[in-house]
Amino acid sequence: AALPLSTVRPLGIGYCSTTASGPSSCQRASKGSWTMDARSMRSMPAFVNECIERCRQCDNCRYVSASRLHAACDWFQECKEHHLGLYFGGDTYLTFRVKDYS
């Protein structure tokens, strides 16, 4: 079940896992990445909100890792919440749990 936006808080700095660029299926894949448009890049809150909203509309997405610096909104079905990745600029990412297990 999707969590109310007001209760979505960062789990921490870092990302759940690495992802491949390019399209991925919200019905078949367990992770993927979305390209963000200029409108969502104008501020960190706008960027994070857009990333979270995309996750809410993606069946298999439960977590997002967002980096405005890298224009990256990566989504995941699973995430090791206490072992977020910090390599490859991971310290510029914030990870959020968007949905609880249903």
> What pTM, to 2 d.p., does this model score?
0.87
58 or 2, greater pLDDT:
58
**What CATH number is associated with residue 41?**
3.50.4
Residue 102 domain-assigned?
Answer: no
Which residues span the domain enclosing 18? 5-97
Query: Domain for residue 81, yes or no?
Result: yes
90 part of a folded domain: yes
pLDDT digits (tens, 9 = 90+) for 37-94: 777 778 888 889 999 999 999 999 999 999 988 888 999 999 998 999 998 889 999 9
How many independent structural domains does the chain possess? 1
Amino acid at 22: G
In a domain, 67, yes or no: yes
| Domain membership flag for residue 41 | yes
Where is pLDDT greater, at 11 or 41? 11
Query: For residue 11, is it within any domain?
Result: yes
Rounding to the nearest 10 degrees, give the CA dihedral for residues 66, 68, 71, 74. Answer: 0
Report the alpha-carbon distance of residue 102 to residue 86 in Å, rounded. 29
Q: Given this model, what pLDDT does residue 35 score?
A: 83
CA atoms of 52 and 65, how far apart (whole Å): 9
